[in-house]
Amino acid sequence: MEEKNDKEKVKTATSIGGLFFVGCMFIGAGIGMIYGAVPIGGAIGMGVGFLAMGIIWAYYTKKK
């Protein structure tokens, strides 16, 4: 029973973290379009997305 619950936490964290990553990447690219620097905005968005994904994974895997 405990193992199934752990798998659900990982699945939830992966799903939500992935959505945050993609969302941050697109927001960064959009801001980059405004300033005429799409690659730079996308890279910043990816960096923020990776940080958000890591925080979400840590939160859900430690949550009991």
pLDDT in tens, 24-64: 999 999 999 999 999 999 999 999 999 999 999 888 888 76
The pLDDT value given to residue 55? 92
Angle at 58 between CA 3 and CA 31, to 5 degrees: 135
**Residue 36 pLDDT:** 95
pLDDT score recorded for residue 8: 78
* List of residues 6+ apart from 57 with CB closer than 8 A: 13, 14, 17
The answer to whether 14 and 34 are in contact (CB under 8 A) is no
Query: What's the confidence (pLDDT) of residue 21?
Result: 93
Taking a C-beta distance cutoff of 8 angstroms, is the pair 57, 25 a contact? no
pLDDT, tens digit (0-9, with 9 covering 90-100), for 1-13: 566 677 777 788 8
Q: DSSP string of 40-64?
A: HHHHHHHHHHHHHHHHHHHHHHH--
